[in-house]
Chain A
Amino acid sequence: MTRAYTGLLLMAALILTGCLGQDPQWHGKDIRGLMPDLAFRLNAPSGAPVTPEASAGKVRLLYFGYTSCPDVCPSTLAGLRQAIRRLPEAERDAVEVLFVSVDPRRDTPERLSSYAGFYGEQVTGLTGPIPALRTLTRRYRTTFGYDQPDAEGNYNVSHGSAVYVFDGTGRARLLLRPGLSPQQISEDLARLIRESRAL
């Protein structure tokens, strides 16, 4: 009788941890099955249209921001740069950071391209017309908005602070919340790269 109970309890615990518990090895939040696959059609600074196919096979990190961003974007992108630098040299090219500017009015191709380049050769600056950006942010359940411009025409842009990570096949895998260290991000990336290479 007691044995049967213990067995039942054990089974319930297993099921519960299996369904609700997060994989302890990921530092980011596992979003497999929660969010849709990577899909977009935006423009590179050269003006050429870009879709996820261009970076297929790589681990993609999608991040929304703008180049005039005073704090969040620089610190997030610097953190990603450090995380990528911690990877073995041969693995760095298996990562691509897609920095999507949600401020296409101010972020000219030159500006976006030099800004992205500053954070490493793995960073690609992308942008597009507002409706295309709205479609993409809605797909990943995030948003952006503009403040009233001041006398000099400067304005703040509100945007999400998360980085969405997709594997080589474009499946949504992780959500990196602010607060993760470059080391933690690097460990997650290394694991995803190994996983994609094993396929």
Chain B
Amino acid sequence: MPELGVLAPYDASPLTILVFVLAAASYGYALPRLPRNQRPGALRVLAFGLGLLLCYGVMQTRFDYYAQYMFFVHRGQHLILHHLGPFLIALSNPLPVFRFWRARLAPDGHPLLRPVGTLYRALQQPVVAALLFVGLIYLWLWPPIHFDAMLSRPLYWTMNWSMLLDGLLFWWLMLDARSPAGGRTLGYGKRILILALVALPQMLLGAWIVFSRGQVYDVYEVCGRAWPMAPETDQLLGGLLTWIPPAMMSVLGILLLLRRALHEDGQALASQPVTGGRSP
């Protein structure tokens, strides 16, 4: 095996590598074969690639080692898996690629896809999606569960994959590029409301971790840290990473949606015939 150094996975997961390679390959294959007017521009391709690479990097490089033995690195890992990575992927709007593969593989729908579609729609109910997004963060950070998840390899992988999948679902619901005017996607008002609402409990949890006097997550002490760092410092940094960047991601999402809403308002006004109104 070639010496990969820090790029080598700490805990190699063939399934994870396969999923990421398949995602990258199916995107790369579809891209040059899309009609010119549907093909994503360089910036969108870059956003998709960067999002994918970030998620892969925190799961299958030496980064994962530090995430297993340092609380604050673990929080950074989840920040990427649940927020930044999926945010970039959703922002890149990979819909044309999905359409391409759907036309190739199952143009008339597939009986296997039906339950998947039902599950998808159930999970993308606004209330369900918001509860799931915050609920997963609280679940995996609940101290006894967090302890078990860091001890058990299967639970650890379940945790990381559930964060990534939920991140993708949530940010796609928020940043879906199709206009709500078509009635198929969530209205901008609701999206903005959800983004603001999910930020609050995350800030609360982060602040609680930051201001906790005792050790909230002792598993890092029990299992040994990657390098000698005071437990309080580790907890403080981890709490800050739970508190501030997720709140900033919500704000960023809200700003993007406001810009889109204003843009569409402008378009709607411009295209409206002025003959309808009665002039005084």
Q: Which A residues are within 8 Å of any B CB, using their own CB? A: 20, 29, 31, 33-36, 64, 138, 141-145, 147, 156, 158-162, 175, 177-178
Residue contact A31 to B151, C-beta cutoff 8 Å: yes
Most buried by B among A31, A141, A142, A144: A141
- Interface-facing stretch out of B161-169, B189-197, B217-225, B271-279: B217-225
**C-alpha gap A103/B35 in the complex (Å):** 61
Most buried by A among B10, B69, B223, B226: B223
Give residues 3-17 of B contacting A (CB, 8 Å).
10-11
Residue contact B151 to A158, C-beta cutoff 8 Å: no
Residue contact A147 to B228, C-beta cutoff 8 Å: yes
Rounded to whole Å, the gap between the CB of A137 and the closest CB of chain B is: 8
A139's nearest neighbour on chain B, judged by CB, is B153
Q: A160 and B222 in contact (CB under 8 A), knowing A143-B69, A145-B227, A147-B228?
A: yes
Residue contact B224 to A158, C-beta cutoff 8 Å: yes
Give residues 202-219 of B contacting A (CB, 8 Å).
218
Rounded to whole Å, the gap between the CB of B82 and the closest CB of chain A is: 22
For B153, give its contact among A141, A147, A160, A178 (CB under 8 Å).
A141
Q: Which residues of A contact B224 (CB under 8 A)?
A: 64, 142-145, 158-161
A-B CB contact pairs (8 Å), 15 listed: A31-B151, A33-B152, A34-B151, A64-B224, A138-B11, A141-B151, A141-B152, A143-B68, A143-B223, A156-B228, A160-B222, A161-B221, A161-B222, A161-B224, A175-B151
Q: Which B residues are within 8 Å of any A CB, using their own CB? A: 10-11, 65, 68-69, 144, 147-148, 150-153, 155-156, 218, 221-228
The majority secondary structure among interface residues of chain B is helix
Rounded to whole Å, the gap between the CB of A99 and the closest CB of chain B is: 15
Q: Which residues of A contact B152 (CB under 8 A)?
A: 33-35, 141
**C-alpha gap A69/B69 in the complex (Å):** 20
For B228, give its contact among A33, A34, A158 (CB under 8 Å).
A158
Residue contact A158 to B68, C-beta cutoff 8 Å: no
Q: A158 and B225 in contact (CB under 8 A), knowing A35-B152, A143-B69, A175-B151?
A: yes
A137's nearest neighbour on chain B, judged by CB, is B224
Residue contact A160 to B223, C-beta cutoff 8 Å: yes
**C-alpha gap A142/B65 in the complex (Å):** 10
**C-alpha gap A109/B244 in the complex (Å):** 51
B66's nearest neighbour on chain A, judged by CB, is A143
Q: A162 and B155 in contact (CB under 8 A), knowing A141-B68, A141-B150, A147-B228?
A: no
The 3 closest A-B pairs by CB, nearest first: A160-B224, A34-B152, A142-B223
**C-alpha gap A156/B228 in the complex (Å):** 9
Q: Which residues of A contact B227 (CB under 8 A)?
A: 145, 158
Q: Which residues of A contact B153 (CB under 8 A)?
A: 36, 141
Rounded to whole Å, the gap between the CB of B156 and the closest CB of chain A is: 8
Rounded to whole Å, the gap between the CB of B158 and the closest CB of chain A is: 12
**C-alpha gap A65/B223 in the complex (Å):** 12
